[in-house]
A and B are shown apart, each in its own frame.
Chain A
Amino acid sequence: MRPETSVGIIGWGSYIPRWRLPLSEIAKLWGFAPETPRGLNVVEKAVAGRDEDAVTMGWEASRNALLRAGIDPKEIGAVWFGTESKPYAVKPSATIIAEALGITPDTMATDLEFACRAGSEALRISIGAVASGLVKYALVIGSDTAQANPGDILEFTASSAATALITGPAREAAAVFEASYTYITDTPDFWRRAHQPYPLHGEGFTGEPAYFHHIVNAVKGLLEQTGLKVDDFDYAVFHQPNGKFPLAVAKRLGFPREKVLPGLVTPYIGNSYNSSALIGLSRVLDIAKPGQRILLAPFGSGAGSDAYSIVVTDRILEKQDKAPKVDDYINRKYLIDYATYAKFRGIIARIR
């Protein structure tokens, strides 16, 4: 019996800002070939407003997860916040969210950093914490206002969104963990040095030795550990830095396109880093049926990937309509121009 089987997802929720930048605006301003967005399979990216950051977005995703969980916030014993865009370099973001949701003071709370998979590391830690009885419920958040050097290819996809999962006892869960597996190496594909405003990356190096190598090995490890086959899964959700990589890695592993598309959110909103794979899971949970099995494989640069097998229970149906769905946020959009985006994301520097 694996520890995972006693733990499940009690509530889930996401948040996407209203503002969208058409990628054609970036191509036009920085002189990229007009077909660049099509090559990435992304049309628009979500942009956090001037009064938003990883904390405010994480708050709303968590509020939605709490609505679905239907639990007293005081019963949450851990708030773990995965991000690479902390509003404070020093001062926890997790405490702000915990206080604002009425979870404090009898709780653990911290921020985790592992590029795009800090939230997923938090999810694995929460499985251990719940399975051991250390906490009854844990709130796991992946939230980012992703930064990109203006004019860098990364700017096309770096977007803003958040997803929160509340883990707890399997008997109360909408979906139960069956197994999980992590694959980590020291691979320098993407980084941001201290005090630098934007990350740098190894261009093509971010693909083969980083994204593909780690996800493929994490998923293979999971399948070997469990004896499950690709055909046993109804959905496959991968980290989605663009709209192209998740489909390519799925093909390599043998997952058909139609099992990937329901959890593929990046073409509509861009890559929301710590929320990237998790918002895909959130969208699948919005529509999943009891008995279905979901593969989740987040990835973080630096580098590592986790693979989870998640089985949906009967309780999912009573929770799906208790909070706004990912598609409600995808459809709530207003197109902005590059100047507005630059102001919202602090790209225009002012003396204050």
Chain B
Amino acid sequence: MRFSIPRYWRERHSHYRLYAKKCSNCGRVNYPPSNICRYCGSIELEDYNLDREKAKIISWTIIYPAPEGFEEQRPRIIALLETLETKTRIIAPLTDILPEEIREGLIVEPVLRRIKEDREAGLIHYAIAYRPVIGSIGTSKQ
């Protein structure tokens, strides 16, 4: 086993649902979750899952030298996103998209995907990635 089982289990709500904390005082979403609002210092925060918000692409990078466990997903595309509703900024992988299709402002939505696996016999790690909303990227060009 290369990856920690307890850590994957402990973080499953962050991976599956983008678990965050929303400040009851200033309304901003703290992601990763924090018990003290990093924007206003309030300790009045409630649970909030970012997985139901669409987002827009702010910037992105294409990574060719893949780290261990990601070799079959080369190249990896990682984007800086801003969610549409709460304007929360997050960094997440993009999927179902070709490098030439990516553009600033493109609307994407969260989907559950296999992010990495612990070789043939170990655990499969699932987490949220973002892909263009259905209908926004067209049909085949081939």
- A interface residues, Cβ below 8 angstroms from B: 17-18, 20, 49-53, 55-56, 59-60, 87-88, 96, 99-100, 102, 324, 328-329, 331-335, 343, 350, 352
Contacts and interface: CB of A to CB of B under 8 A. Distances in A.
A352 B111 contact: no
Nearest to B93: A51
Contacts of A17: 96
10 interchain residue pairs of minimum CB distance: A100-B16, A51-B113, A59-B112, A324-B134, A335-B142, A335-B140, A51-B114, A18-B96, A328-B134, A352-B119
Contacts of A102: 17, 49
A333 B96 CA distance: 10
B12 to A, nearest CB: 6
A51 B73 contact: yes
23 contacts: A17-B96, A51-B95, A51-B114, A53-B114, A53-B124, A55-B112, A56-B112, A56-B113, A59-B112, A87-B114, A99-B12, A100-B16, A100-B112, A100-B126, A324-B135, A332-B135, A333-B139, A334-B140, A334-B141, A335-B142, A343-B72, A352-B71, A352-B119
A50 B17 contact: no
Given A332-B134, A332-B137, A335-B142, 7 more contacts: A51-B114, A56-B126, A59-B111, A332-B135, A332-B139, A343-B72, A352-B119
B115 interface: yes
Nearest to B120: A352
Given A56-B112, A99-B16, A343-B72, A51 B137 contact: no
B129 interface: yes
Nearest to B73: A50
Interface residues of B, number: 27
Given A332-B139, A333-B139, A55 B126 contact: yes
A350 B117 CA distance: 14
A142 B36 CA distance: 43
Given A50-B73, A332-B134, A56 B114 contact: yes
Contacts of A20: 140
A47 to B, nearest CB: 12
B96 A49 contact: yes
A109 to B, nearest CB: 15
A299 to B, nearest CB: 29
Contact of A60 (B17, B111, B137, B141): B111
A102 B96 CA distance: 25
A147 B19 CA distance: 34
Nearest to B12: A99
Contacts of A350: 71-72
A49 B134 CA distance: 16
A267 to B, nearest CB: 16
Best-surrounded residue of A20, A49, A328 (most CB of chain B within 10 A):
A49
B129 A51 contact: yes
A88 B118 CA distance: 13
A50 B120 CA distance: 14
Nearest to B110: A63
Contacts of B96: 17-18, 49
Given A50-B72, A100-B16, A329 B115 contact: no
Interface in B70-111: 71-73, 95-96, 98, 111
Contacts of B134: 324, 328-329, 332
Contacts of A56: 111-114, 126
A38 to B, nearest CB: 20
